[in-house]
Amino acid sequence: MTNTTTPVWLQEMLPFAKAAWKQSQFSQPTTIQNESIPLVLEGKDVIAEAPTGSGKTLAYLLPMLQSIDTNKKHTQVLILASSHELVMQIHQEVQTWSKNSGVQSATLIGGANVKRQIEKLKKKPQLVIGTPGRVFELMQKKKLKAHEIKTIVLDEADQLLVPEHIKMVQNIIKSTLKERQILLYSATLPEEVEKTASEFMKSPKIVRVKEEAQKPDVEHLYIPCEDRDKVEVLRKLAHTDHFKGLAFMRDIGNLNVYAEKLRYKGIDLGVLHSDAKKEQRAKALRGYRNGEYHLLLATDVAARGIDIQDITHIVNFDVPKDFSSYVHRAGRTARVGSSSGVVISLVNPVEEKRLKKIARDHDFPLMRSEIIKGKLQYR
């Protein structure tokens, strides 16, 4: 890439960030990175909406890492995320992109050993990533110094500004300096979420990216079947060629029952849901990443933030309730840097109507399919 096409912010990155960029082998920044990074570097508050897998994490992380003063040994940046998995995913990115920068980071997750986390904070990390409950708890204990934080990031903001988390998030923000910078990033930002956010932000700049120029190729399919047949259809799907699938289910109880049925039928799989212990969730993700099994059953919240490059199939075992949920699920395949993916919904007659309405209202092609002799066939 020549300097004539290289954005100014990319040319002016610090040496550690330039080295990480070179090693990543990205040919060029994504749209959300190009549009929001200059605003973040200017110190503006930003509300950013861009498709899942379009490089949002890096869109706030690169300017954040640039702004941290490594000579100051206190927390300067706080990143809030709604799930354990998303916190760990962000931390992985931080470690990759902050190599040789001198930036120290730490994670604060509910359910994990609090004493150990307090020990981490004693090392005075400049960047902290955490779930709202645990972050606020440690602020109240005066172990995390809120008045030293100059930037707060809400990752997957639509999951943070919901009744379950909103009060905690507001309390965290109120504890920090008035002259702070707030950044919100998400794949979907409903109007009410944007309205709530603007109440505690200063004239935020709004960046909306509908789709990437180098948009990955995603096929949207559905297989009509009765509820009682869905497990068998999923078993057949898991046996199709080059399958590495993430299957979404709404109910944790059903997820556990179906997991046992599939294991009984000889399918190796992992499960990911909020009732599982932190170690179990980490083990499930690790086994899936390492290829020990090719099917992961998950609920929506638990799967937020999963960034695994080679997921080939997203399976909607239960059709999502709305387009926003569909987008977040679909975005787990064909991540930026990957070529293609398949989203396939297993639908009973009621779900088929709902899915077709979602596709019609949001103008994406939907094809009926079936499994014949171990292969997906389109009709």
The 10s digit of each residue's pLDDT in 272-282 is 887 777 778 78
Terminal-residue alpha carbon distance, the chain = 43
Residue 206 scores a pLDDT above 90? yes
- pLDDT-based confidence at residue 201 (cuts at 50, 70, 90): very high
Residue 259: how many CA atoms within 13 Å on its side-chain side? 22
Residue 255: how many CA atoms within 13 Å on its side-chain side? 24
Across 146-154, average pLDDT: 94
State residue 213's pLDDT score: 46
Contact (CB, 8 A) for 226 and 295: no
State residue 4's pLDDT score: 44
Across 321-337, average pLDDT: 75
Across 356-367, average pLDDT: 88
d(CA 105, CA 217): 35
Domain 8-208: which CATH number of 3.40.640.10, 3.40.50.300, 3.40.50.970, 3.30.930.10:
3.40.50.300
- pLDDT-based confidence at residue 305 (cuts at 50, 70, 90): low
State pLDDT tens for residues 225-251. Answer: 999 999 999 999 999 988 999 999 988
Domain ranges of the chain: 8-208, 217-378
The per-residue b/e assignment along 204-216, b for 16 or more CB within 10 angstroms, e otherwise, is bbebebeebeeeb
- The partner residues of 222 in beta bridges, in order of sequence, read 345, 368
- pLDDT-based confidence at residue 112 (cuts at 50, 70, 90): confident
Contact (CB, 8 A) for 78 and 56: no
What is the pTM for the complete model shown? 0.71
d(CA 66, CA 254): 45
Phi-psi region of 82 (alpha: psi -120 to 50; beta: other; left: phi over 0): alpha
Q: Do domains 8-208 and 217-378 have the same CATH topology?
A: yes
Contact (CB, 8 A) for 83 and 304: yes
217-378 fold: Rossmann fold (3.40.50)
Across 114-124, average pLDDT: 94
- pLDDT-based confidence at residue 338 (cuts at 50, 70, 90): low
Residue partners of 33: CB distance under 8 A and separation at least 6 = 55, 58, 59, 62
**Residue type for position 24:** S
Across 11-34, average pLDDT: 88
